[in-house]
């Protein structure tokens, strides 16, 4: 680690989101089963394009629930945190897997936790 490298002890991610609010799989409504909308955190190089390492899963929306849900997670994975260097970008990816599935998000925050 270089002298000018940041020391990140954790990353707090808070997201307010929900999925499209419907599906044909009624038994899964209101559960995380077969939920195909989620969020991932990634470290990007200073150019904001080149991904460093793997993305890490930070939340999943409840299946077929159209009410806003607040998801909060503190990421402490050592390999993920150690990949962060000065001028890197922390990105939140809002994901949905299939056509018709939507990841509606009205607020998100990323806070770096230091020593």
Residue spans of the domains in the chain: they are 11-113
Spell out the alpha helix ranges (H) of 1-115. Answer: 78-82
What would the pLDDT profile of 9-54 be if each residue is shown by its tens digit?
999 999 999 999 999 999 999 999 999 999 999 999 999 999 999 9
The pLDDT-based confidence of 4 (bands split at 50, 70, 90) is low
51/88 Cα distance (integer angstroms): 10
32 to 47, 60, 92: CA distances (angstroms): 35, 7, 20
- Average confidence score pLDDT of the chain: 94
6 confidence band (pLDDT: 50, 70, 90) = low
Average pLDDT for 62-81: 98
Q: Coil, strand, or helix at residue 24?
A: coil
Q: Which two tokens stand for residue 73?
A: 């997670």
Handedness of CA 72, 77, 78, 81 (dihedral sign): negative
């Amino acid at each position: 680690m270089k002298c000018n490298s940041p020391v990140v002890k954790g990353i707090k991610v808070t997201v307010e989101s929900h999925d499209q609010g419907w599906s044909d799989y009624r038994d899964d409504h209101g559960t995380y089963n077969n939920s195909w909308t989620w969020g991932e955190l990634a470290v990007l190089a200073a150019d904001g394009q080149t991904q460093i390492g793997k993305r890490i899963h930070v939340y999943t929306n409840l299946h077929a629930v159209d009410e806003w849900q607040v998801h909060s997670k503190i990421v402490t994975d050592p390999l993920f945190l150690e990949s962060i260097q000065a001028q890197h970008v922390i990105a939140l990816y809002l994901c949905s897997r299939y056509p018709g599935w939507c990841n509606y998000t009205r607020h998100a925050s990323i806070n770096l936790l230091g020593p």
